[in-house]
């Protein structure tokens, strides 16, 4: 059994492309071209060179000595926090901007919630000299002023989404509307392993550099390519997809996915999609989705903006449904405490999203000989104000 996408765009029963007819030409062009273009040697060369010299890859695999001693197991951290712009998201935007250029597109659009994907997109548009328009909910624009300023400084136009709850979902609707109206010159960069096929597979492939490097680095450090456990937080699921990718079909590697429980799985204020979700369609993909009894999407909640999403990518829905991955929900409080703990035990201030992944260490018992890799998806600079308010620093 394979946990990768099939030729129809499905992971088990999840995935596909549930899109309005008006969007079909754009998505179909991408579906027909993405594997061909990304397999070209010139594409690979340019992608690898930018990841190396611009993003700063390979990111280190760091043996966390104090953490390992305390939990009596071997803990390695994959340092995506050291990527340019502070998180893994840029691996994907570099890949998609190179694809957009080869498709002859001159105008780039994106949606963003907290602004991290918007910044990663604005960054690569500046790098390539392409026009960049980022849709962002009006509420999010108010809440995320530093990222709005970053995008503007990078030359992007930030367009407010004024409808609905004026957050990520509404920004996504605006971006889709824009794409329908500008099918010829515009490319839509999606920020996670979500959306209609081929986006989930394409984004997973661009992020798969994470597990490719983990294999090489573990071989050097441990004399074997595979860890016993790989752990990552899941919002839409792109850093997790990248960290799992080359281990998916090797069942000797245990996969742990960490979701945001917010104020508690049963509190009504969470983003624990696997625990609470039912099968539904969101942003063009059939997946697990938090919804009311009559199928309306539930507003999610997490203290970390990157995990505050009511769905999960179709790859992860399938990993959950098949039992290939173990899903664990972590509350705001557990994650915030780990933000402080990792800072003081290893000198690493994590993004709050990433801090969720570390809380697994308190939930599961590992053997002293186990090799446990935790994906440190991003650094905590962007979250400093949240940490300040929470801990009264």
Ligand X SMILES: *Cc1c(COP(=O)(O)O)cnc(C)c1O
CB of 72 to ligand X, least distance (A): 27
Of 30-38, 98-106, 169-177, 347-355: span binding ligand X (CB under 6 A) = 347-355
Report d(CA 152, CA 167) in Å as an integer.
19
For position 354 contacting ligand X by CB under 6 A, the verdict is: yes
Per rule CB under 6 A, count of chain residues that contact ligand X: 19
195: left (phi over 0), alpha (psi -120 to 50) or beta: left
Tell me the per-residue interface mask from 108 to 137 with ligand X, x by CB under 6 A, - otherwise.
Answer: --------x---------------------
Q: Which residue is nearest to ligand X (CB)?
A: 378
- Is residue 224 annotated as part of the catalytic site, yes or no? no
Report d(CA 66, CA 46) in Å as an integer.
38
Which entry of 259, 270, 377, 382 is annotated as an active-site residue?
377
Half-sphere exposure of 86 (CA within 13 A, CB side): 19
Tell me the per-residue interface mask from 298 to 317 with ligand X, x by CB under 6 A, - otherwise.
Answer: --------xx----------
- Is residue 13 annotated as part of the catalytic site, yes or no? no
Q: Identify the residue whose tokens are 């390695």.
A: 76
Q: How many CB atoms lie within 10 A of CB 223?
A: 7
For position 353 contacting ligand X by CB under 6 A, the verdict is: yes
Direct distance between the N- and C-terminal alpha carbons of the chain, in angstroms, rounded to an integer: 50
- Is residue 286 annotated as part of the catalytic site, yes or no? no
Which entry of 111, 174, 259, 346 is annotated as an active-site residue?
111
CB of 202 to ligand X, least distance (A): 13
User: CB-wise, 19 or 87, nearer to ligand X?
Assistant: 87
Written as one string, the DSSP assignment of 270-312 is -B-HHHH-EEEEETTEEEEE-B-TTSPBPPP--SSGGG--SB-
The two three-digit tokens of residue 292, written as one number? 């009311």
State which of positions 205-244 bind ligand X (CB under 6 A).
233-240
CB of 309 to ligand X, least distance (A): 8
Could you tell me which residues are beta bridge partners of residue 271?
A: 260
Give yes or no for a contact between 166 and 139, defined as CB atoms under 8 angstroms apart.
yes
User: CB-wise, 73 or 123, nearer to ligand X?
Assistant: 123
Cite the active site residues.
89, 111, 377
Note the residues at the interface with ligand X (CB under 6 A).
87, 89, 116, 192, 233-240, 306-307, 351, 353-354, 377-378
């Amino acid at each position: 059994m394979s946990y990768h996408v099939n030729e129809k765009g499905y992971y088990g029963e999840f995935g596909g492309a549930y899109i309005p007819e008006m969007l079909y030409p754009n998505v179909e062009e991408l579906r027909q071209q993405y594997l061909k273009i990304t397999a070209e040697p010139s594409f690979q060369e340019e992608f690898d060179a930018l990841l190396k010299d611009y993003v700063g890859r390979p990111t280190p695999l760091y043996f966390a000595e104090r953490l390992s001693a305390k939990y009596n197991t071997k803990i390695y951290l994959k340092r995506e926090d050291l990527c340019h712009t502070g998180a893994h998201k840029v691996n994907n935007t570099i890949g998609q901007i190179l694809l957009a250029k080869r498709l002859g597109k001159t105008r780039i659009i994106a949606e963003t919630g907290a602004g991290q994907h918007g910044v990663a997109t604005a960054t690569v548009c500046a790098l390539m000299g392409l026009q960049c328009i980022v849709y962002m909910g009006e509420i999010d624009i108010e809440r995320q002023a530093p990222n709005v300023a970053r995008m503007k400084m990078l030359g992007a136009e930030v367009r407010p989404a004024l409808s609905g709850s004026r957050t990520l979902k509404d920004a996504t609707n605006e971006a889709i509307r824009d794409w329908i109206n500008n099918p010829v010159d515009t490319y839509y960069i999606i920020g996670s392993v979500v959306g209609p096929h081929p986006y989930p597979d394409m984004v997973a492939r661009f992020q798969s550099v994470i597990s490719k490097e983990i294999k090489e680095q573990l071989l050097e450090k441990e004399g074997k390519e595979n860890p016993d456990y790989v752990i990552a937080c899941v919002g839409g699921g792109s850093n997790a997809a990248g960290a799992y990718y080359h281990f998916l079909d090797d069942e000797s590697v245990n996969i742990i996915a960490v979701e945001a429980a917010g104020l508690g799985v049963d509190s009504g204020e969470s983003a624990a999609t696997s625990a609470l979700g039912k099968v539904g369609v969101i942003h063009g993909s059939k997946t697990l989705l938090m919804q009311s009894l009559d199928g309306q999407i539930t507003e999610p909640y997490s203290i970390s903006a990157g995990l505050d999403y009511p769905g999960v990518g179709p790859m992860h829905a399938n990993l959950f449904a098949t039992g290939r991955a173990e899903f664990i929900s972590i509350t705001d409080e557990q994650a915030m405490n780990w933000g402080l703990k990792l800072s003081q035990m290893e000198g690493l201030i994590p993004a709050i999203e990433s801090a969720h992944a570390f809380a697994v260490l308190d939930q599961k018992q590992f053997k002293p000989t186990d090799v446990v890799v935790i994906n440190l998806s991003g650094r905590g600079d962007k979250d400093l104000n949240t940490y300040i308010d929470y801990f009264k620093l």
